[in-house]
Amino acid sequence: MDEQTIKRDLIRVCHLMYERSYVVSSDGNVSVRLDDGRILATPTMTCKGRMTEDLIAITDLEGRALNDRKASSELAMQASLKATLDCATAFATTDFRTDLVAFQIPTLIIHGTGDKTVPIDATARRAAAGIPGSILREYDGAPHGLLASHKNDILADIMNFLRNGRDLEQYAPSLAAATRDEAAGPVPGVL
């Protein structure tokens, strides 16, 4: 397959992932290794739904840029097919349900009801049911990439949880003090 066809296919994959809500905006990385050892990759901070051929980053096998685009930092996290399949198998088959009752700290679970990557019924709702006293905050219709699509809502929910959380003083005294005082400004490390 020639490089131009590979670029068109890479763009098509990006657009399909975005249209089907598998990614939000600039989430994730799509890349292809060419026969000559170069890698075509999605650039950092670029919406998958707006990808065009001229935006594709090109790197060598060490991740060094070969054009004026910076490849996503996620490129370095890509693994072999076997490692990827082993990881997916572990995610899908490891049963953590018995561990949930051991949670001894206030727990806030935030999840989108439209998440097709990690469906809410199989994950967040089950976790919330298994963690004593946990709070589940569902974002109606929200996809997998909540930090990109609902950043302000998440920040507000976390701050509300911290301000009203049971036993926060015991687990995080500095956060408890900062969240009690509205005039204190942003809580260090939260933003």
- Write out pLDDT tens, residues 122-181: 899 999 999 988 999 999 999 888 877 888 888 888 888 877 755 555 555 555 555 555
Would you state the structure tokens that stand for residue 156, as one six-digit string? 């507000």
- Please name every residue paired with 109 in a beta bridge, in sequence order, or none if there are none: 136
Residues 53 and 101 reside in one and the same domain: no
Asked whether residue 84 is domain-assigned, the answer is no
Confidence of residue 188 (pLDDT cuts 50, 70, 90): very low
The CATH number of whichever domain residue 139 belongs to comes to: 3.40.50.1820
Domain with 50 in it? 3-78
Confidence of residue 13 (pLDDT cuts 50, 70, 90): confident
Asked whether residue 88 is domain-assigned, the answer is no
End-to-end alpha-carbon separation of the chain, Å?
A: 45
Q: Which of 19, 50, 78 is the last residue of a domain?
A: 78
Confidence of residue 189 (pLDDT cuts 50, 70, 90): very low
What's the pLDDT score for residue 131?
Answer: 93
Asked whether residue 110 is domain-assigned, the answer is yes
Residues 64 and 143 reside in one and the same domain: no
Per the structure, the count of domains in the chain is 2
Asked whether residue 172 is domain-assigned, the answer is yes
- pTM, two decimals, is 0.50
Would you state the structure tokens that stand for residue 50, as one six-digit string? 């707006």
Reduced to 3 states, what is the DSSP secondary structure of residue 122?
coil
Residues 110 and 49 reside in one and the same domain: no
What burial class does residue 111 get, using C-beta atoms within 10 Å of its C-beta: 0-12 exposed, 13-18 middle, 19+ buried? buried
Residues 104 and 172 reside in one and the same domain: yes
DSSP H/E element including 32: strand 31-33
What's the pLDDT score for residue 52?
Answer: 93
Asked whether residue 85 is domain-assigned, the answer is no
Rounded Cα distance between 179 and 35, Å, is 55
